[in-house]
Structure 1
């Protein structure tokens, strides 16, 4: 189930007009089906295609956001999109099995293997994690950041737990800074910028937020 809603919130000036796209994973909320790993990959793919086909978004305009288990579908999709603008990972996991056991290798039956896919992501990556996370250990976010190809200054929130990071003032400040930076970054978006400038088009930014079954898209037009 995918829904769009226009909304306003505290964002950088270039993100004045926003839209929210919320979707339920298979088997949750108003979505039918079963909540399996492969189905969640199909779910985020469907949300992405909806942006491209129904709303005229371009890959290089999109920033993906994944929180906790939602980082799995986010990293999986990002690894297959070479021109994505950026991704934000909030309390991400290395893999499903590693959340429960400190294994040193990847097993075939593991799920959401972010540790093996993050190196395939070729866009700027912001990682945010609380140092006192009681669900997904802080080491998950730290290790993922170390494995990123295009690292952005991470945000390690001292004392932050799994579900309270948005309450820290640094959270929004750092996220705004990241969005502003990738908006101006020439890497992998240079071609789009040249076309944009030559045609005198306005800036547009889209953010797909995947938070354990949700996606938000913010768009300036």
Structure 2
């Protein structure tokens, strides 16, 4: 964010927050989940289909397209079930590696419980915001993202084939307080299966990459 924009955002009369922006490499693409979802899905799939080698066996192309579309739509549908705002998915291989990863952005509203949540401890906020998901062995830390209070949570979710999770995954959540509105929180959730083990070197590298992505997070103001 330019210096003059940062200064304006810190004044009493700065416009209200209307959204966010984050910088991602070209291998990743955004699917908005409130408006324009199908248009984005078709654009991304059509682009992926164009990258199929011209000499690929004709009898393999149809099944490949159908499976690619099924998996992509399943990832989008899962994010929609969580009432998310956007999902970001890797749409092109990186260094010949297909990344099993995603970023889901959602918004939470935390009801007041006797006192303003703006005076609560970060750990209390995480308990209230995320107490329903059963996360265990959680690594918590707090700080700021674009000048707003943020809590970072990292943990591993074990495989659960009954719920469609064939592999364990590494999760990193950033829960960020929306400026000037202490009841609203943005949750940016990263998930990766690594190279098949959420604790392997690829998972470690992807978590570091996501932390670097969150450094670019900026509020968008009206």
The answer to whether TM tops 0.5 is no
Q: Which has the higher helix share?
A: 1
Whichever of the two has the greater Rg, that structure is 2
Q: TM-score range by the shorter chain?
A: under 0.3
TM-score (norm 2): 0.27
Q: Which has the higher strand share?
A: 2
